Structure formats: C-alpha cells, structure tokens
Amino acid sequence: MKNFYKGKKVFITGHTGFKGAWLTRVLLNWGSQIKGYSLKPEEDSLFSKLNLQDEIEHEVGDIRDLGQLEASMSDYQPDIVFHLAAQALVRSSYDDPINTYTTNAIGSLNLLTSVNSCQSIKSLVFVTSDKCYENVEWLWGYRESDPLGGHDPYSSSKACAELIYSSFVRSFWSQRENFSATARAGNVIGGGDFSIDRIIPDCVRASENDGKVLLRSPNSTRPWQHVLEPLSGYMKLAQSLYYKEITELPSNWNFGPSINKEITTGELARLVLEILGSGEVELDPLDHPHEAGLLQLNCDKANIQLDWHPKWSGMDAIINTANWYKDVNSGKNPIEVTNNQILEYFDEQND
C-alpha cells in the first residue's frame, strides 16, 4: 500500500477530525498529495497538534454546502476520495438531531453529487458506522447483508447515509465500472481523541485532575479497535477499488476486531487510568438516553476478499492508546509519538 499511495492525489472530508487526522498523517508519511475539506479544527485537536495544516492543502468547509464542496473537489481533481466528515457522537445526536441528519445524510448526498461531477476520481471510500445496523444485541457479528436501522438519531442517520449511497450508485453509477464502497467500523480508539463524552478522553481528563470518570454502563461491551485498524482497511479497500478488483454494486464492508473475549467499558477505564497513574471509576447516577449494550461485526468478507485482518488485539489497542496520552502529557512530541505508532503498526523501520 505504501508504494501505491505514493504520489496519489487524495481528497479527505473530515480531515480535521480524530480519524481524519490519523489518516492524513499516514498518507503523508507514504508520499500522498492531500487536500482536506472539513470544519475548522478545534484548537486542542490531533490535527492541530500534528501541524497538518502546514503539510496539506487545507480547506475549511461544511459538507452541507454543496456549491463549495463540489468546487473544492473539482478544482483538486483527486484520484481517491475518503469521506469521513460526520457528526459522530450519539449523545450529541439527541441534543441536536437536525444537525446530525443534515450532516450525516444530506451532507453525504452532497459528497456523492460532488464525486459524480468529478471524472478524475478512480476510488471512493464512503465511511459510515457499525451503528447503521438494526441492533438487536445478538451475540454474533452483523454481516453486510443484515438489516439497517438505528435506535438513536446518530445510528439512524448513518443508516440513512447507507440507503442514500445504495440508491445513488444504482441510479447513477450502475453502468460504470465500480469505483466506490461503504465502510462500516465503530468504537475506534487511539491517541489524540479529545472529544467530550467519549470514554478514553474522559479518562484522560479525569487522570489529569486526579478525579473520577463517570461510566453510564460499565458492563457494556464494545468491539474496541485502534484507529489504525479500520484506516488500514479503508486504504486497502480504496486500492482494490482503484484497480477494479471489486465488481459488486452497491458494495459494503465491515472492519472490526476479531470476535473473542470482550472488554467492558469498566475494564477499559480502569486499565487506562492505571497506565496514566491516577483517577477513579464511578457509576454515573443520572439517567441517560438509550445506548446499545452489545454490538459486534462479522468481518469475514474483508478477511477473505481483501486479505485484511486486525493486527492489534483489543488489549493492545487500549495499551497503545493510553501510552500515547501518557507520552504526550509527559512532554514528548505528538508528531513523533504518532509516527512511531504508525511505523510499529505497519511494520516499518525508522529511516
């Protein structure tokens, strides 16, 4: 993949977000030319800490603005597009469902419309979420053919995005060679996430203040995976689409950890706080909106057809994530810490 991406022109929506910043850093390390289109980054964000605005073509914009998005993409004429821009928080979707739906559904339609008018694009990875499935909390993993749904506005908005994608490609791209696919992953962790109301950033803040992290559902399990896991899947998928190795249309792919011993949110929080050296876990006494207790993905399709497999266990993901914050908080350079984890994950050697 490193040789493939060298020199490629890549357009990333949501590049100022947590996953977008990691993807941008990986591709820059591999020699890609990158243009990012996203909302203005938070001052305390991974994007800012990595000084990525100095290394790419960086455009501040909203995917709900079709005119700006279409012009931005057309001006750049990319080879590959990764669509990551989203309102990504379940709790925020309850507070502002209008923003959630307009961003995740209509914004995604704008993205597809912009891609449709840009003939240079040879590969599109349209990222949604594992929460797009109608989750009945069964014990086995959801397959790409299982029904879509969503209890909360965020999950529903991601199912909407999937339906919009499916309709769009069948309506407008059915006569073209396939160059697009959706990618479904969730519960991604890793260094540099500073979002409110996410468990590891909450643990980091609690540790810094020697305080307590409040858990709503300490016995809930999630398929924890390091951010580099799904990103490696997205990049491998984009490469296969570029070479016309995927013919199914519409095309949907799960990227998640191997289904084995699940780690509860309580176990995760205690381990992170232990590595960071301070902080306590406490049950949140308040009532909160519904959140799923169990959600797993079946990734056989990606395992077999893309030869994509997770490299780090859930425990490895947690330890590497906690160590990123520990190293950066102790004064180490965030760029060096991030690049070292990228090198380790992709089995590269320092030059």
What is this structure's pTM?
0.93
In a domain, 211, yes or no: no
CATH code of the domain covering residue 232: 3.40.50.720
Q: Report if residue 163 sits inside a domain.
A: yes
Asked whether residue 165 is domain-assigned, the answer is: yes
Please determine, for residue 260, whether its predicted confidence score (pLDDT) is greater than 80: no
The DSSP string of 193-235 is: ---TT-HHHHHHHHHHTT-EEEES-TT-EE--EETHHHHHHHH
73 within 8 A of 59, measured Cβ to Cβ? no
**Would you say residue 331 lies in a domain?**
no
| pLDDT surpassing 70 at residue 61 | yes
Domain presence at residue 308? yes
Q: pLDDT for 275-327, tens place per residue? A: 999 888 887 665 555 555 567 889 999 999 999 999 999 899 999 999 999 99
pLDDT at 188: 92
Residue 294's pLDDT is 67
Residue 213 resides in a domain: no
Q: Let me know: does 288 contact 216? Beta carbons within 8 Å.
A: yes
The number of CA neighbours under 13 Å toward the Cβ of 200 is: 29
Total domains present in the chain: 1
Please report whether residue 302 resides in a domain: yes
Helix, strand, coil percentages for the chain (3-state, nearest 5): 45, 15, 40
pLDDT of residue 213: 86
Instruction: Identify the CA nearest to 264 among candidates 315, 339, 210, 331.
Output: 315
Closest alpha carbon to 244 in 300, 177, 176: 177
Task: Please determine, for residue 351, whether its predicted confidence score (pLDDT) is greater than 50.
Answer: no
pLDDT score for 106: 98
Conformation bin of residue 72: beta by default, left when phi > 0, alpha when psi is -120 to 50: alpha
Could you report the per-residue pLDDT of 211-226, keeping only the tens digit for each? 888 887 787 777 789 9
Residue range(s) defining the domain that contains residue 88: 2-186+223-261+296-313
Residue 275 within any structural domain of the chain: no
